Chains A and B, each alone.
Chain A
Amino acid sequence: MSPVQTLFSLGIALMVPMLFAALGELIIEKAGVLNVGIEGVMLIGAFSAAVGVNYGNGSIWIGLLIAIGSGIVCGIILALLYVRLGTDQIVTGIMFNILAFGLTTTLAVKYVHASQSSQFPDWDIPGLHSIPGIGDVLFSQDVLVYASIVIAALVWYLTRQTWFGLYSRAVSEYPRAAESAGLNVWRLRYVAVILGCVLTAVGGAELFANSGGFVAGYTNGRGFIALAIVVLARWNAFYVVAAALLFGVAQALQFEADKLGFLGDVPSHVLIALPYILVLVAVVFARGSRYPAAVGIPFRPTRSST
């Protein structure tokens, strides 16, 4: 494959963790909650996948299963904090990230073999994979890549074409109105947070699979980039895919730069920093993108006030 093809192929593979995390965050924000702890959840997902692989005879699927489990646990804890206890979401999220980092680093020493890794199987889509030029790039990826696209479509459907999606919208814009229409705001938010955390943890599992092992804190801001992706994409699941792809390719640049001639002279550190700089640029273009009105504000049901 030509360097450009490799770039995109790699970019598509690299976008998946951020894509899953962004889709998860989309569901969560569309229910009125801001999960800054997304980075920590992803890290815990990666860690759990590593543990699963370690104790599951090297099977990545066991790793995935454990990661999903960890996503549920994180989701329950965060839902308790954000929704039921109504703690400040931004600060709680930041602390959760520190906790996640400390926990995974400490436990990794004992429960993870740094060098043991496993990958998701590749799948060359028959027929499509032989299309010259793009076949190799698009249709010769690992299964989780395809799964992420399917899930993006499902998330789009969930948020636009289901009653859950409609109710979430109400809960994220004007939860008091939802309450007076008979909806249980807390219950809707619990579901959204747990679902979102599961998706984010799956993103972490893919990160582990891509990276060939577990290194302390190696999420390196991917979760936060996912936060930006959601804003950029204006909470539309399909635009999320496009934005994630953009950042995936930006990340891939650091690996392919030397082969791409014009970028060969740029110091590797600049390329590593490129995705973060890209977020800042993108934020300027995303001006006018407005968070749902009630995001980040804890909801106190009228019935519970004394």
Chain B
Amino acid sequence: MRYTSLCMGHHISMRGITKAYAETIANDDVAFDLAPGEVHALLGENGAGKTTLMNILFGMVRPDAGEIKLDDGVVALSGPEDALERGIGMVHQHFMLVQDFTVAESVVLGTESAFNLKLRRKNIEQRVAEAAERLRFDIDPSQRIRDLPIDTQQRVEIFKLLYRGANVLILDEPTSSLGPAQIEDLFTSLSSLREDGCSIVIVTHKLNEVMEIADRVTILRTGRNVATEQRGNYDERALARMMTGSEVHDVTVTGEEYEGKKPIYQVQDLVVHAGSRLNAVHGVSFDVRPGEIVGVAGVEGNGQRELVDALAGVAKIESGAILLDGENITSRSALDLRRRGVSAIPEDRQGWGLVTDMTVAENLALTDVPAGRFNRNGFLRPKMVRKQARQVLEEYDVRPPNPDLPVRSLSGGNQQKVVIARELSRDHRVLIAANPTQGVDVGATEYVHRRLLEDRAEGKAIVLVSIDLDELLKLADRIIVLFRGKLAYQAPRNRCSVDSIALAMAGTPGEGAEITEREAAAAAGAETAS
């Protein structure tokens, strides 16, 4: 087993990499270099081809053309096993960890031959503990993955690679699930790994991270190279321009300050159970007024999913209440909630928002049909469904506006528009939106933000759950932070401090709590005054 504590980096050179799939060309004659002891950012929008390129470097994807050179020798990687042998490792955006496994089992997965008949739990835990000690990693080999918070899971993923002797680490969107404090920790670890001689590739679409940690940046756009620049030769604006190919406009909040209206949507002491104790909701309360956006911040895995599921009527509520305009709607079915005016944009549109094999029209009618609309004498009227769909598609600028296409053939951004169209065009008073711009390119993100603000301007109460703090700071009137299923911070946007939010997201007690009380008192005082 080679686990060296010192990375002896490789020079990696990828040239002419081309990979085409059935509908698109993911990489078109792409070049990429990596030197030992550097942090190299691979920047681009969603769909630019970054993950494909790195999957090729990791051996998980075979390129149609091009070559990879490792220290002057051309290599043809036969698979991830081959890449790991040569010291190349990748941490994917969705962690490749089996929830039931212990840390030790996850780390040693794939390291011995399957025909080796002896496997002792104590033995592997010991091995892993020793290696962790030597590599100065703080992990407990006997813990189960499902009991670990997200940032610890990520540490396990990185440790897995070092254990196998990787000196090239590829991290795909490593900060997508982390809060500010954890991002700092991660960057510190990466810096020290760089010092040890490792080469690190960070695949990202976040400009500030590139500015902070990258020594070099390569920008990809729609599968092609745009530029490669050394640190110091660029600023955020330049990066944005190269990444998107156009000037990026900032969407600013222009809505009026809502006046102290009565809350129309109230969540009281909500308790929701979940598979792992970290993920449950342990008594959350907040109010939303008409024409207000309440942003729910927090690192992924602190109860957001369970909260959204409960608010959307899909999860079982153990205790607590949800009130809509004074009426108790706790534990009502999803269909019932829709009828009463609670719309929901779920995260992961393909998993929860759309039936990809159905047509656009059918997806738009997904809630209407079970509710009994378009029904005459017990029969559906497909013409009515399509007519309605056509109107909505135009209004919401979905391209192409063809109701008969299977939704799977639309781009990610347009698919999200279909979900938004369905949820916003329905009569509603409350909107629950969960990570509505995840995996959506800059143009469509702008669109989503605009629609949310329009909805707000029409007097709807919006709960916006997002792991993207910037998005919340841009759109929300009030921000609350979820940590381990509880409210750790609450403040109106114009009076909140990003530092406090960051601390609350990381669960640092004391200062955060103080501020919570102080801010809450101030907020309450200010609100009664206005």
Complex A–B touching at CB under 8 A: yes
Question: Are B101's CB and A162's CB within 8 A?
Answer: no
3 smallest CB-CB distances across A and B, nearest first, come from A182-B81, A181-B110, A177-B96
* CB < 8 Å neighbour of B110 from A164, A173, A183: A183
Are A181 and B109 CB-contacts (below 8 A) given A302-B60, A303-B62? yes
Task: With A181-B80, A306-B22 given, name 10 new contacts (CB 8 A).
Answer: A161-B119, A162-B117, A162-B119, A164-B115, A166-B105, A167-B110, A174-B96, A181-B84, A183-B109, A303-B79
Sample of 16 A–B contacts (CB below 8 Å): A162-B119, A163-B115, A163-B117, A166-B119, A167-B109, A170-B109, A176-B96, A177-B96, A177-B97, A179-B60, A181-B160, A182-B80, A182-B110, A183-B110, A184-B81, A303-B62
B383 at the binding interface (Cβ < 8 Å): no
* CB < 8 Å neighbour of A178 from B60, B99, B110, B118: B110
Between A176, A178, A180, the greatest number of chain B beta carbons within 10 A of the residue's beta carbon is seen for A180
Question: Are B109's CB and A166's CB within 8 A?
Answer: yes
Chain B neighbourhood of A183, CB < 8 A: 81, 109-110, 114
A residues touching B (Cβ–Cβ < 8 Å)? 161-167, 169-170, 173-174, 176-184, 188, 191, 302-303, 305-306
Could you tell me which residues of chain B, from 65 to 122, have a CB within 8 Å of some CB in chain A? 79-81, 84, 90, 92, 96-101, 105, 108-110, 112-120
Question: Are B105's CB and A173's CB within 8 A?
Answer: no
Provide the bound-state CA to CA distance between A67 and B389, in Å: 61
Between A165, A166, A169, the greatest number of chain B beta carbons within 10 A of the residue's beta carbon is seen for A166
Chain A neighbourhood of B84, CB < 8 A: 181-182
Question: Are A170's CB and B98's CB within 8 A?
Answer: yes
B residues touching A (Cβ–Cβ < 8 Å)? 21-22, 55, 58-62, 79-81, 84, 90, 92, 96-101, 105, 108-110, 112-120, 160
Between A161, A165, A177, the greatest number of chain B beta carbons within 10 A of the residue's beta carbon is seen for A177
Question: Are B100's CB and A173's CB within 8 A?
Answer: yes
Provide the bound-state CA to CA distance between A170 and B107, in Å: 12
Residue of A nearest to B160 (CB): A181
Provide the bound-state CA to CA distance between A13 and B60, in Å: 50
Provide the bound-state CA to CA distance between A169 and B59, in Å: 23
B314 to chain A, nearest CB (A): 20
Provide the bound-state CA to CA distance between A182 and B108, in Å: 11
Chain B neighbourhood of A178, CB < 8 A: 109-110
Question: Are A162's CB and B116's CB within 8 A?
Answer: yes
B276 to chain A, nearest CB (A): 15
Between B60, B61, B110, B116, the greatest number of chain A beta carbons within 10 A of the residue's beta carbon is seen for B110
Chain A neighbourhood of B81, CB < 8 A: 182-184
Say whether chain B's binding surface is mostly helix, strand, loop, or mixed.
Answer: loop
Residue of A nearest to B58 (CB): A180
Chain B neighbourhood of A165, CB < 8 A: 119
Provide the bound-state CA to CA distance between A241 and B423, in Å: 53
Question: Are B110's CB and A169's CB within 8 A?
Answer: no
Question: Are B114's CB and A180's CB within 8 A?
Answer: no
Residue of A nearest to B19 (CB): A306
Are A173 and B99 CB-contacts (below 8 A) given A163-B119, A164-B115, A167-B110? yes
Provide the bound-state CA to CA distance between A303 and B77, in Å: 11
Question: Are A303's CB and B60's CB within 8 A?
Answer: yes
Question: Are B99's CB and A163's CB within 8 A?
Answer: no
* CB < 8 Å neighbour of B114 from A163, A179, A303: A163
Provide the bound-state CA to CA distance between A172 and B265, in Å: 43
Chain B neighbourhood of A173, CB < 8 A: 98-100
Are A169 and B22 CB-contacts (below 8 A) given A302-B55, A303-B79? no
Chain A neighbourhood of B101, CB < 8 A: 169-170
Residue of B nearest to A168 (CB): B114
Residue of B nearest to A161 (CB): B119
Chain B neighbourhood of A161, CB < 8 A: 117-120
Provide the bound-state CA to CA distance between A188 and B79, in Å: 16
* CB < 8 Å neighbour of A303 from B21, B61, B105: B61
Question: Are B96's CB and A180's CB within 8 A?
Answer: yes
Provide the bound-state CA to CA distance between A166 and B110, in Å: 9
B16 to chain A, nearest CB (A): 19
Provide the bound-state CA to CA distance between A169 and B118, in Å: 16
Chain B neighbourhood of A181, CB < 8 A: 80, 84, 96, 109-110, 160
Question: Are A174's CB and B98's CB within 8 A?
Answer: yes
Are A306 and B118 CB-contacts (below 8 A) given A177-B96, A182-B79, A182-B84? no
Provide the bound-state CA to CA distance between A165 and B124, in Å: 14
A159 to chain B, nearest CB (A): 11
Between B58, B90, B112, the greatest number of chain A beta carbons within 10 A of the residue's beta carbon is seen for B112
Question: Are B109's CB and A306's CB within 8 A?
Answer: no
Chain A neighbourhood of B109, CB < 8 A: 166-167, 170, 177-178, 181, 183
* CB < 8 Å neighbour of A164 from B55, B100, B114: B114
Residue of A nearest to B62 (CB): A303
Residue of A nearest to B107 (CB): A181
Chain B neighbourhood of A184, CB < 8 A: 79, 81
Provide the bound-state CA to CA distance between A179 and B117, in Å: 21
Provide the bound-state CA to CA distance between A40 and B92, in Å: 41
Residue of B nearest to A176 (CB): B96
Residue of B nearest to A303 (CB): B62
Are A306 and B21 CB-contacts (below 8 A) given A163-B119, A180-B92, A182-B80? yes
B109 to chain A, nearest CB (A): 4
